[in-house]
Amino acid sequence: MRLIAKLTLAIAAVAFSFAAAPSAKADPVTINVTSGGFALSGLANDGSDPNGMDALDGFSHTSTRDINGAGSFMALLNPLTFTTGPTGPNSGGAHAFNFSQLLTINGQTQMLDIVGSIDISHSVDTIHIISAAPLTFTFNTFSVIVNVVPMDIDGFGGVTTGELQAKFTVVPNTAVPEPATLTLLGLGLAGTAAKLRQRRKRKGA
């Protein structure tokens, strides 16, 4: 009986260590983010203007953020310049466009695909950054989920500046037992089952 109790306590201790593992790994995390940049020209141009206006440029940028375990923060992806000019007499209205840039977090690189549109009117041209598919960067003890923040830039002729930002959410990964730990847990359960069978046989005899 004492052996069974000891085995049960040992199994409970192992199970508790699995449950407590994610919180035990809530150490400070340093996030290094580098965006690759992009250059878009001829947005909404109807082909009649050789200058390729309007143009949107996103400059590469690197930032570092230290957080304590899990949490979320806003960070700059790209400083922007929006250069407006003649786009042709038939360019009025809304025009959709897509673009991509490389995004690197802690040495891991993925492609960030972004959806935008541009509205052309007589007095103002407006860029809309609409959305992007979320990216997930998975590391040993945590993952980082990236969501681009929608934004607008109005251009009245010449150069206008702005910022493209994203929300970064850090989440701890679920602890996965190592094979050796699983083996010990299985042996403990098998030993408990064997002792229970022996007790039943003795009572039956």
**Per-residue pLDDT at 191:** 59
Give the pLDDT of residue 12: 46
Query: In this predicted model, what pLDDT tens digit does every residue of 16-50 receive, in sequence order?
Result: 444 444 444 456 889 999 999 999 999 999 998 88
Would you call 192 helix, strand, or coil by DSSP? helix
> What's the confidence (pLDDT) of residue 49?
80
Question: What's the pLDDT score for residue 186?
Answer: 56
pLDDT at 50: 83
**DSSP-assigned letter for residue 22:** H
d(CA 90, CA 46): 6
Give residue-wise pLDDT tens across range 75-85.
Answer: 999 999 999 99
Query: Alpha-carbon distance 25 to 142, whole Å?
Result: 9
- Read out DSSP for 58-121? E--EEEEEEEESSEEEEEEEEEEEEEE----TT--EEEEEEEEEEEEETTEEEEEEEEEEEEE-
Instruction: Round the average pLDDT of the chain to a whole number and report it.
Output: 84
Q: Specify whether the CB–CB gap between 111 and 40 falls below 8 A.
A: no
Residue ranges of domains in the chain: 1-25+175-205, 27-68+76-133+150-165
Q: Over range 74-100, report the average pLDDT.
A: 96
More confident residue, 137 or 5: 137
What pLDDT was estimated at residue 25? 44
Average pLDDT over residues 51-70: 92
141: Cβ–Cβ under 8 A, 6 or more apart, which residues?
25, 27, 172, 173
β-strand partners of 108: 105
Q: Which residue has the tokens 């992009």?
A: 38
The per-residue pLDDT for range 106-133, each reduced to its tens digit, is 999 999 999 999 999 999 999 999 999 9
What pTM value is reported for the model?
A: 0.73
pLDDT of residue 15 exceeding 50, the answer is no
pLDDT at 195: 63
